[in-house]
């Protein structure tokens, strides 16, 4: 792997069952509906077999729904985790309540992760025309200044997972925030969006004014479970193609001081310009994208990093992989990836 030593990642529990199904196009959409159809199963628990779902699991999914919330890991990165929550009509308010320290999350929070909204904070959410207005109680202002950016990113990315939310506005006791109350981070009058970035890395950026952001997914690990971390990188405006820029950032890897790792090996290159048609991008790589030169297997970690990173872009819904112009690539299970691979509904699914 480039820049950092290759880490020994076992992918159990990360994108559980998603890559096994990806070649069949069985993934859901890139953003989740606020009101999924009753009884629809859109996820699988860690270790759950596709064909052997138990009655107990079926009963649990009738009463609970996996929701993404953005927590802070031991290295300070803001990372999504899929958490089982009771089904409710007030989904937006519910997911934010799980970001409050000592709230409902305390019983199911994954090891090595923490929340950043102060304990005792009450929250209300009103969504209208794509804008989620979040009103916190006065306890919200008691956070540690070092967590200020994490709070902004956690709240924004947690709410914008839903189709009905494009941007987020913050209030405390009904008063709109123009800046954060402790560290004074400015808040745009147009609200907070994913375009503001997450875990932004500025290494190797000499002139930020001549750059633009792209978000890529690197790998980290908690105990035995690997997980994907979104990182916003700044790329030079001389790189005209955002898709190629994302692949280049994955190959280059995270900064030298980062605790993260990339899933793409040194020498990986695109042999042709990416082609996008009807939301699907076709990528033609050299053989370095494969696990080894004697196989046509692309690792689950490599494929997942590419799909997650590219589907962060607005118009990309799926990814097709070729090697030396041929679409004979298979995943680790030996299944052909002839159909576009789309983004999974849930990214990091652990055991709870």
- Cα–Cα dist 258/265, whole Å: 17
Q: Are 214 and 249 in contact (CB under 8 A)?
A: yes
Separation of first and last alpha carbons in the chain? 31
Given a contact cutoff of 8 angstroms between Cβ atoms, the answer to whether 227 and 348 are in contact is: yes
What is the predicted pLDDT for the residue at 206? 65
pLDDT less than 50: residues of the chain: 1-30, 35-60, 351-352
307-343 pLDDT tens trace: 999 999 988 999 999 999 998 899 999 989 888 999 9
**pLDDT for position 36:** 40
Residue 311 contacts residue 343 (beta carbons within 8 Å) = yes
Our CA angle for 143, 144, 149, nearest 5°, is 90
pLDDT value of position 203: 67
DSSP 260-328: -B-SSPTT--BSS--EEETTEEEEEE-GGGSSSTT--B--HHHHHHHHHHHTTSTT--EEEEEETTB--
pTM of structure: 0.83
Q: Decide: 317 and 324 in contact? Cβ < 8 Å.
A: no
Compute the distance between CA of residue 47 and CA of residue 16 in angstroms, rounded to an integer. 7
Which residues are CB-neighbours of 214 under 8 A, at least 6 positions away? 232, 233, 235, 242, 245, 246, 249, 309, 312, 313
Q: How many residues can be counted in the chain?
A: 352
User: Model confidence over 100-118: pLDDT tens digits?
Assistant: 999 998 888 888 899 999 9
* Rounded-to-integer distance, Cα 170 and Cα 191, Å: 8
The pair of structure tokens assigned to 201 is 């890395």
Given this model, what pLDDT does residue 61 score?
A: 67
């Amino acid at each position: 792997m480039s820049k950092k030593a290759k880490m020994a990642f076992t992918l159990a529990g990360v994108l559980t069952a998603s890559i096994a199904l990806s070649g069949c196009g069985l993934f859901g959409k890139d953003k989740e509906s606020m009101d999924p159809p009753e009884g629809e199963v859109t996820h699988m628990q860690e270790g759950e077999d596709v064909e052997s779902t138990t009655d107990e699991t079926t009963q649990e999914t009738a009463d609970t729904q996996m929701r993404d919330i953005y927590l802070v890991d031991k290295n300070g990165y803001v990372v999504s985790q899929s958490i089982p929550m009771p089904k409710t009509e007030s989904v937006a308010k519910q997911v934010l309540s799980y970001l409050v320290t000592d709230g409902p999350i305390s019983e199911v929070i994954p090891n090595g992760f923490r929340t950043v909204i102060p304990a005792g904070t009450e929250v209300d959410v009103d969504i209208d025309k794509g804008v989620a207005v979040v009103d916190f109680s006065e306890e919200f202002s008691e956070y540690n200044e070092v967590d200020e950016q994490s709070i902004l990113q956690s709240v924004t990315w947690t709410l914008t997972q839903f189709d009905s939310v494009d941007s987020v506005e913050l209030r405390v006791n009904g008063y709109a925030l123009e800046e954060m109350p402790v560290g004074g981070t400015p808040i745009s009058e147009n609200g907070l969006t994913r375009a503001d970035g997450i875990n932004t890395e500025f290494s190797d950026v000499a002139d930020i004014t001549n750059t633009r952001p792209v978000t890529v997914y690197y790998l980290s690990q908690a105990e035995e479970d690997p997980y994907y971390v979104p990182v916003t990188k700044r790329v030079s405006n001389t790189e005209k193609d955002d898709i190629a820029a994302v692949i280049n950032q994955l190959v280059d890897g995270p900064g030298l001081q980062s605790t993260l790792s990339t899933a793409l090996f040194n020498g990986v290159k695109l042999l042709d310009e990416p082609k996008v048609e009807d939301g699907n991008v076709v990528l033609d790589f050299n053989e370095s994208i494969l696990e080894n030169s004697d196989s046509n297997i692309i690792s689950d970690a490599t494929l997942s990093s590419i799909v997650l990173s590219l589907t962060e872009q607005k118009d990309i819904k799926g990814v097709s992989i070729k090697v030396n112009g041929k679409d004979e690539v298979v995943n680790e299970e030996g299944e052909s990836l002839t159909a576009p691979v789309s983004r999974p509904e849930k990214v990091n699914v652990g055991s709870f």
